[in-house]
Structure 1
């Protein structure tokens, strides 16, 4: 297989000094003076600033134009995450991906059989992601750490076979069962590209990495152990489902396990991130403030920000996390 991603020698020696390392210390399991807080998809679609950019730009062009909300929530966020998408990897591997308004991702020519894998090659550079990371790291001026991210192999494969999102993932799961050898070959290719992509992000300036195994819950425990966990381990990725938490915590090098709002931790002592139900942010501000997630080392949502969330409600939640941490210290 050709070199999966190229990594330009970016000027990373002159990054501003980090002023707030709360998130990094918490992720390492160190004691912190308060719980750090950030929110998945905090850099995107619920923000008026983002929607204004999207009016005149196709989605994947926006991925080449970093957007970040730290100015709006000054002093309240302990991590920034680069604006990108997990499907830049299938794009780099030569597949066409469209972002259809009101529908989401769409692959005009999905993978439906092993024969469709024959022409795979990494023919697009991901340097634009690295440049965005480096530029954003400088623009942050050390306010907080910058996170990079990637999609996990099974989740990427599910999109590539289904041709987009799905309620049943019948096509993707059928591929696993009917073409086991080819499925493992594809997952291995994706793991290789993802691992190199993660390395490239770190070299470009990412200070922590989040990996999204969004569709792990579509696999039963045995299929998870065969088709997800080995490739998560290969990329040193993280995800969370009840039957997976103990295995991930005990058998891998994961520093943090992200939880949704229906799960609690298990296994050995491990740093937990999450797990507020995002729909709580539709409530009145007083309810937002009163609905902090169950205790977790890193405060976050159990899923991403939604397009119709009121940015002011997020601010109330962020302020409540700070106030709660202050109350615990007192």
Structure 2
């Protein structure tokens, strides 16, 4: 059975979905699966493990996304992460950035499904967590309708049952990472066809989903899950508040209540020597499209990085929203 948490998930996004962002998102949805930024296997093996892997217990359900292409390294990183108690470990086969390509992982792995299968098999041998993969529908001159089912068949033969498919090709030459999120056309029918072709697998769609209504419509067409990316970051109030209705749950906190609920977390971060902007940069879009949103962003953007900035600045920013006239 599909993991019910995946009916809606928030995509792993480099430099965005850090632990502060995930804590903030969790205050708006109790049910959605949250993903870490991609962490490379060598970074976990050789780097500061606590800094890379620590998170708040309140973030559950939360998945760790790994990057790499060496089965032994990925197995070792998975084993090291075991003690952190993530709900899932995911392999990145979708990121098209230059630094990812130079390390021979990310979307370039779509060209080598047997290696992906070996990597995932090695990871699964080191954990009881579900092991999943996030991929594209193809890269460069590949024909998605041909390559994607072969990729899925090869990886599923390694025992992997859960695929998150970004419904765009990735062009490894000629497009920037930003352009790769926008220019290649979306092919939702192909992802839906993969669910029909592989009904025994968990198939989730990523790419271009900006609203809960879109997510609900895709779920109604038979997909097991939908992953929201940039909309959950730039407009989290609309993308995540009320999302739990997808599970029949009426949890839908007011955006002002979310700010108040963040205060103890922010206070603890500041008391530990952290800076306010490290958290508030993730909160700038909370009131997007609502009266006072510009003032909220301005106060936080201008003041949060200044020495000594604290909870009083949060109150000043919130006052901009509360004082804004409500238009009919």
TM norm structure 2: 0.47
Higher RCO structure, 1 or 2 (CA under 8 Å, sep 6+): 1
TM norm structure 1: 0.47
